[in-house]
Amino acid sequence: MLTPRHFRANPVAALLAALLLMLIASPAFAQREVKFPPATSPPPPPMKTPPRTQSNAEDTGILPDAGPSMRKSQQRTPPPPTNLTVMYKVQYGETLKYVWPDGTVQVFPQWESYKNDGYQLVNNYVNHRLADGNNYEYNIKALSSPGFDPVDIPILYMTGDYDFVFSKAEIDNLRRFILDGGTIIFNAARGRDEFSFAVSREMKRVFPQKAFIKLSLDHPIFNSRYRIKQVLTMVNGVQFMQPPEVYSMDIGTRAAAILIPGGMGAAWSDQPYHPAGKHIVGESAVRLGVNVVAYVLGSTEYGRFLAQQFPIYNGATRPGDVLHFAQARYAGPWDENPAIQNAVLQGIKDNTGIDVDYTPVAVTLDSPDIGNYPIVFMTGHYDFDLNQREVDNLKGYLSRGGFLFASAAAGLKPFDIAIRREMKKVFPNAEFIRLPPTHAIFAQGWNPIDRVDYTPTALRDDPSLAYPEFYGLFVDNRLVAVTTPLDIMSGLNRESNAYAKGLTPDDALRVAINVITYALSH
């Protein structure tokens, strides 16, 4: 047994013992005590292989495909559903301590929260509500572990009630996962703001140039399976209806990090709602959760498209009479469509023979360099504001013969509303008016255009779409700007974006060439 006499006889041992005591007593080794009780729910059951089913001899009235015949009385064994693990609930954070009013001390892992929330969401609600022939499953993995491949696992799920800090390994893994096409869903389990604030702060470390932006109600997250305009919410025990509150950090127009500050853990786990929490209640939470998962599953190809390395032209601008244009850079997510300039210029080169300069250019709207480009493209999918310098410079550019071609990325409304409002600052006395199909920009262009085809997502919102929906801004009887509330850029770039509401690729190119050749000739 070691006593103080041993330490006096051995100064080195005394020093080591003192250091050990300091480490044990330091905050890094102390267990953090929280003031809000932990969430509890029963653990999920072990994973089971879904049973194979057999059909009976009932006549369905569906004509069989050509092929080997089988008597109706025979037992038929359809292929089992494909088992796909699509979501990992990630382990993160530390072991926390909570002292109950009766003095009972509970120690619990920070990441776990409601133990069966992810299982219930995926294995029960998503499978039953989507019913697409797949059997979706979920699993658990530490966020600091290597090997998160979005090709195999498209969704990470992270939930909690308390503040946290990412380690370097977690930041690196998460950045790589998202850039490769994966999506992470953050859910404040019981609506605790300290978790949501930590998500916002830590994701700034993952992507310093990005920020969470609130999604508008026309975003596909609110329309992928159910159309959601209101959700039943409970705050401090009081229930009421309100619009859903979801935030996103985007890659392109893809919601790559999704933050839901209203707690859905209790509803998914079928557990009591904490009276001091902020909850999305019952069916509202189920529908929103199913929508988020459906959205991510429908965005996997688009995520892989954006993850590829796009060629960048590094050559010098060559002299001569060649077409070159710029993309508008402004305070907002302006660069939604990678390589869009090359896609447009290649289409013009191939279809009109006009010589082009492939050098990609981005120009701010307050830069005098904007005058070097006859056409400026502008796109985005969120609200934005132009400052006075941008307004004045853009007015001078358009008044001297420049041309602005704008399009709402993915066909989302906030950009369309903003471009109309901000152009009113530029030309207070001018209004955007609908260009009829007989306008020269369609009827007398490079390829006369009558009817056009739209993406299935656009037609689901408006089945009557059949003609180009473009609006023009005229100043002194000259068309100086064209905008469309529907997406043209995704089609031009041939992006595999299942949620883009706009023109199909071939018609997007036809319309873009007509608009550009009209602008050059006028």
**How many CA atoms, within 13 angstroms, populate the side-chain half-sphere of residue 110?**
19
Q: And the tokens for 136? A: 């979706």
**How many CA atoms, within 13 angstroms, populate the side-chain half-sphere of residue 36?**
18
Q: So what's the pLDDT on residue 13?
A: 47
Integer CA distances (angstroms), 127 to 124, 219, 365, in order:
6, 23, 48
Domains of the chain by range and CATH? 82-306 (3.40.50.12140), 313-521 (3.40.50.12140)
d(CA 450, CA 466): 9
d(CA 131, CA 142): 29
> Which segment of 42-46, 143-147, 149-153, 205-209 scores lowest on mean pLDDT?
42-46
Task: Tell me the per-residue pLDDT of 464-486, one tens digit each, with 9 for 90 and over.
Answer: 999 999 999 999 999 999 999 99
pLDDT above 50 for 415: yes
- Where residue 520 falls among pLDDT bands split at 50, 70, 90? confident
> Which segment of 15-29, 216-230, 263-277, 298-312 scores lowest on mean pLDDT?
15-29
d(CA 428, CA 424): 5
- Where residue 47 falls among pLDDT bands split at 50, 70, 90? low
Question: Quick one: average pLDDT of 398-426?
Answer: 95
Give the sheet arrangement for strand 478-484, strand by strand: 362-364, 326-329, 375-380, 403-408, 478-484, 471-475, 432-434
- Please check whether residue 190 is in contact with residue 269, taking contact to mean a CB–CB distance below 8 angstroms: no
**The pairing of beta strand 254-260 with beta strand 247-251:** antiparallel
pLDDT above 50 for 346: yes
pLDDT above 50 for 23: no
- Please check whether residue 150 is in contact with residue 173, taking contact to mean a CB–CB distance below 8 angstroms: no
